[in-house]
Structure 1
Amino acid sequence: MTELTKLAPFRLAPYFSERIWGKKSLEPWYASTGTTELVGEAWLTGPASVIETGELAGKTLAEAIREDADAVIGPKGDREFPLLVKILFPNEKLSVQVHPDDVQAQAIGQPRGKTECWYVLEAEPGASVMLGLTPGAGPDQVRAAVAGGTMEQLMQHVPVAVGDMVFVDAGTVHAIAPGVTLLETQQTSDTTYRLYDYGRPRELHVEQSLGVMKTTTKAGKIAPHAMDGFTRLIDEQYFSVDRFDLAGGSLEVAMESVGCLVGLKGTGSVDGVEFKAGQAVIVPLGLGKVQVEAKADFAFARCLSPVS
């Protein structure tokens, strides 16, 4: 077994997930997706993402954890990387959807629910997201709106701009429209109930959605906080996300729990492993801190799971 403190940070290749609402091209983030189909999501820390550097190169993240979980996520992990980090590229409206919380997910045999957050990387003028129900809306109103094609009228529309952080806790009815590119950090889960889909020929999960949705949630914009050397974007039960801006040179970055670094702008390296905008580097548990270097302006996010 690889000793916990001997496994170096390693870079992952994004896994491109085809979606009906996605795009043919993800430039300038990615020169190619390897497919001619519409791609809506780049999974940066997905189980099928392939490791590109170090002694684990060629394995998927899921394979690496299955073979030696202690070295990657530590002995207290549940045999999956705890955070699924993605970049979303909507070219059309996503479905109106909702995710179960931990208790609800475990009741149907899933290991965990799906709470997430969105960091706005790009936004056109007037861009917005739909986040939560309007006051007074309940199951009866939602069911009628789904049947009548008026679901958007029951949603709260929240304007967003570059740099905004939006929290979306489990149980929040939500949707994303075109005009934005989002960095999504979430619990590792793909359990999604589709409540309304604008007439597209996909399965709906109306009753499941009504069973897990909450009429009031904590969802909304989170104000950034200046910290010592970085900006705290969000700190919630399942994750924290911070932004670092490095104007060349080097910077020591603490990694007190399992997590990853994600390039947002430019090119840099972490403990010698190069990464750029749109790429993630996993920092195995036990390293404690890493050294990030860049020759020019470089921005990256630190996404951490809770301290065990």
Structure 2
Amino acid sequence: MVEKVWGRDDLPAPFVAPQGQRIGEIWFEPPPELPQVLIKYLFTSEKLSVQVHPSDANALPGEAGKEECWLVIDAAPDARLAIGFRHAVEREDIAAAARDGSIEQLLQWYPARPGDLFYLPAGTVHAIGEGLALVEVQQASDTTFRLYDYGRPRELHLDRALAVARGEPYAAAHRRSIADGPVLVDGPFFRFDRIEGAPEPATFAAFTGPLLALPLAGKLSAGDVRAGPGECLYAPACDVVDFSHAEVTLLVRAAI
């Protein structure tokens, strides 16, 4: 559990925040067999900073590229996510808006509803709004450059953020929904599926190597290891996981 200024002290079940702590993130540390991907829960009571991540190609020494996606699992009626800009903007316009706080108005804010999936390529300027519970799947990187933080006393990283930010609208092709089928992301860094009950043969075929399984409802096991809601199961392959008590499960593996 990671405390955040924008976190919550009333986490949804099955999580319980320690007394006096505002928990914003719950991380499942990548196992040695699958170090490339990181899964988190995010819980927000306030807006997160406006930020951006580098790609592997434009990361400097000591940094690491980061592409990510968000699956909305709960949302207040007016919850929103800022992703990309309303129209193409130049770097100097982004810099000026970050300094005076008007960058919020430059960003495109999308309504967020349970079951929505947003994939964010590296370089996408973004901010998560309040009243959300998300599952985030990402490259295992903590390199984040803040452009704006609502006056909070945290470091900003304008030079590096401007160097990697894309001043463009968010592509509609990166949005999906659980209604579109089990494959949420099949990208350059990870595969991410949502399944109900037992996987179909195509899912078993796609997850023949190391994977992480996150039960949202129901239970899973692999040998003597069991996992329920709020936990994450590592398995060497999908066919060793017992889905007989599974209801809704998220599966993640590194790209092949």
| TM-score above 0.5, yes or no | yes
What corresponds to 1:9 in structure 2?
Answer: none
Contact 1:250 1:294 in 2 (8 A): no
1:163 and 2:148 correspond = no
Aligned pair 1:86/2:37, yes or no?
A: no
Q: Is 1:146 the counterpart of 2:146 in the alignment?
A: no
Q: Distance in 2 between matches of 1:29 and 1:96?
A: 29
1:251-296 CA distance string (max 9 Å, x none): 8862223320001123333445321112111123xx462232344x
| Percentage identity across paired residues of the two chains | 35
Aligned residues: 250
Identify the range of structure 1 (93-102 vs 126-135) with the bigger mean alpha-carbon deviation: 126-135
C-alpha distance in 2 between matches for 1:120 and 1:166: 9
Give the gaps of 5 or more residues in structure 2. none
State the partner residue of 1:52: none
- What secondary structure sits across from 2:241 in the alignment? strand
Q: Which residue of 1 aligns with 2:185?
A: 234
For the residue of structure 1 that corresponds to 2:83, the secondary structure is strand
Matched, 1:195 2:180: no
Listed as ranges, the matches of 1:3-152 within 5 Å are 16-30=1-15, 32-34=16-18, 36-44=20-28, 46=29, 61=31, 65=32, 72-73=33-34, 81-105=35-59, 107-110=60-63, 112-152=64-104
For structure 1, which segment, 236-245 or 140-149, has the greater mean C-alpha deviation from structure 2 after superposition?
Answer: 140-149
Uncovered stretches (5+) of structure 1, i.e. residues with no partner: 1-15, 48-60, 66-71, 74-80
Aligned residue type for 1:25: D
Q: Give SS of 2:243's match.
A: strand
Change (3 A) 1:209 1:250: closer
Distance in 2 of aligned mates of 1:130 and 1:157: 4
Aligned CA distance change for structure 1 residues 290 and 218 (closer, same or farther; 3 Å) = farther
From 110, 116, 124, give the equivalent of 1:172.
124
Call closer, same or farther: CA 1:271–1:163 in 2, change over 3 Å.
Answer: farther
Aligned to 1:299: 248
Amino acid at match of 1:215: G
Give the alignment partner of residue 243 of structure 1, picking from 194, 209, 212.
194
Distance across 2 between alignment mates of 1:121 and 1:288: 23
Matched letter for residue 132 of structure 1: G
Deviation per residue, 1:120-139 (Å, 9 max, x gap): 11112132100002213221
Backbone CA RMSD of aligned residues: 2.2
Q: What is the DSSP-based 3-state SS (H/G/I as helix, E as strand, rest coil) of the residue aligned with 1:89?
A: strand
